[in-house]
């Protein structure tokens, strides 16, 4: 359980990370989240940023919570960090936890906009099948409609997490433990075409072949794949694909971290109907479970 001094350390590290991207980190925005989750914050703690159309799009402070802490959205509601809704988005995580054991929950808190996204992580030894998830009453119907395509590309039983973006009313299903065959060039091109996404650049295809995980994004009330992201772990701050915003390189080389060894980074490349863009996560704190998880989810 983080104490007051520990929260001060977390705030200071977040402010340091934000300064690398010329983003303002205010106590007014951060402290409500830190105190709301103070007694349940667990490692890993991650700083996460996105570049889109040549610009850095913000910085998120991400952290884990233990399964017995319950749905992070409920805590966010209780502390005034989110608004109540009667939409089925409200019940998905509680329905998932009622059926399956979870390794952890996770929270994505955007430091200038607030509570943004939450994750439910399955144990790496017990990845879920698409059929198991589709059987959950509150699961968006788009999953069932896309199952044949996911199976066609060998992704049926490789689900390691589900995430909900409450702000945008979108959700993700994370596939991990991918082999070289899953991300082979022709397979990636065929998959993207099947999902109705545009032809990727050579840079994105090169990057995808290094990936061990991928995650599509769907709208809550649609089966359309809005975008797909490929992710890979690295300790190399120079591993960013070409033509990326220089601030990301600076961030990758200098983001604060509090564990031994090299800084752990996770890069992701995303393709939507309108653009390609890149994401970068830098792990600030780790634990043994996080070292395993970072191989599979970002």
Q: Is residue 17 part of a domain?
A: yes
Please determine, for residue 292, whether its predicted confidence score (pLDDT) is greater than 50: no
Closest CA to 231 of 216, 215, 248, 211: 211
**Residue 228 phi/psi, 5° resolution?**
-135, 140
Q: Is residue 161 part of a domain?
A: yes
pLDDT score of 288: 56
Please determine, for residue 209, whether its predicted confidence score (pLDDT) is greater than 70: yes
How far apart CA 243 and CA 202 sit, in angstroms, is: 12
pLDDT score of 296: 40
How far apart CA 231 and CA 208 sit, in angstroms, is: 7
pLDDT averaged over every residue in the chain: 90
pLDDT score of 1: 52
pLDDT score of 3: 58
pLDDT score of 289: 53
CA distances from 125 to 122, 172, 177, 217, 218 (A): 8, 20, 11, 24, 26
Q: Is residue 165 part of a domain?
A: yes
Burial of 78 (0-12, 13-18, 19+ CB in 10 A): exposed
Q: Give per-residue pLDDT as tens, 89-148.
A: 888 999 999 999 999 999 999 999 999 999 999 999 999 999 999 999 999 999 999 999
266 CA to centre of own chain: 10
Percent of the chain with pLDDT over 70: 93
The contacts of residue 75 (CB under 8 Å, 6+ apart) are 36, 37, 40, 69
Q: What is the mean pLDDT of residues 57-79?
A: 94
158 CA to centre of own chain: 16
Q: What is the mean pLDDT of residues 18-39?
A: 95
Quick one: which H or E segment has residue 281?
strand 276-285
124 CA to centre of own chain: 16
Q: Is residue 298 part of a domain?
A: no
Q: Is residue 45 part of a domain?
A: yes
Contact between 130 and 156 (Cβ < 8 Å): yes
Q: Is residue 44 part of a domain?
A: yes
């220089």: which residue's tokens?
246
pLDDT score of 81: 95
> Where does the pLDDT of residue 294 fall: very low under 50, low under 70, confident under 90, or very high at 90 and above?
very low
Please determine, for residue 150, whether its predicted confidence score (pLDDT) is greater than 90: yes
> Where does the pLDDT of residue 238 fall: very low under 50, low under 70, confident under 90, or very high at 90 and above?
confident
**For 97-100, which contacts have Cβ atoms below 8 Å and span 24 or more sequence positions?**
97/67, 97/70, 97/71, 99/132, 99/136, 100/126, 100/128, 100/132
Q: How many domains does the chain have?
A: 1
Identify which has the larger pLDDT, 298 or 86. Answer: 86
Domain that holds residue 264: 4-293
Q: What is the mean pLDDT of residues 11-24?
A: 96
């Amino acid at each position: 359980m983080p104490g007051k001094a520990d929260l001060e350390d977390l705030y200071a590290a977040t402010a340091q990370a934000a300064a690398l991207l010329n983003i303002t980190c205010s106590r007014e925005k951060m402290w409500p989240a830190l105190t709301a989750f103070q007694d349940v914050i667990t490692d890993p703690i991650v700083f996460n940023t996105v570049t889109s159309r040549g610009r850095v799009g913000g910085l998120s402070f991400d952290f884990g919570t233990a399964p017995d802490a319950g749905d992070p959205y409920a805590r966010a509601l209780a502390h005034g960090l989110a608004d109540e809704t009667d939409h089925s988005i409200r019940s998905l995580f509680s329905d998932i936890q009622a059926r399956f054991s979870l390794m952890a929950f996770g929270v994505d808190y955007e430091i200038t906009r607030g509570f943004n996204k939450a994750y439910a992580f399955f144990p790496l030894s017990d990845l879920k099948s698409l059929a198991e998830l589709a059987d959950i009453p509150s699961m968006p119907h788009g999953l069932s409609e896309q199952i044949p395509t996911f199976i066609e590309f060998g992704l049926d039983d490789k689900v390691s997490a589900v995430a909900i973006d409450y702000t945008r009313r979108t959700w993700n299903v994370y596939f991990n433990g991918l082999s070289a065959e899953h991300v082979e060039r022709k397979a990636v091109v065929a998959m993207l075409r099947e999902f109705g996404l545009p032809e990727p650049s050579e840079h994105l295809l090169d990057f995808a072949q290094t990936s061990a995980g991928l995650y599509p994004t769907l709208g809550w009330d649609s089966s359309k794949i809005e975008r797909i992201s490929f992710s890979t772990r690295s300790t190399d701050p120079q591993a960013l694909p070409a033509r990326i915003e220089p601030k990301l390189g600076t961030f990758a080389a200098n983001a604060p971290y509090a564990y031994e060894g090299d800084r752990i980074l996770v890069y992701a490349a995303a393709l939507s109907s309108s653009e390609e863009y890149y994401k970068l996560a830098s792990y600030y704190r780790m634990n043994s479970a996080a070292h395993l998880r970072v191989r599979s989810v970002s």
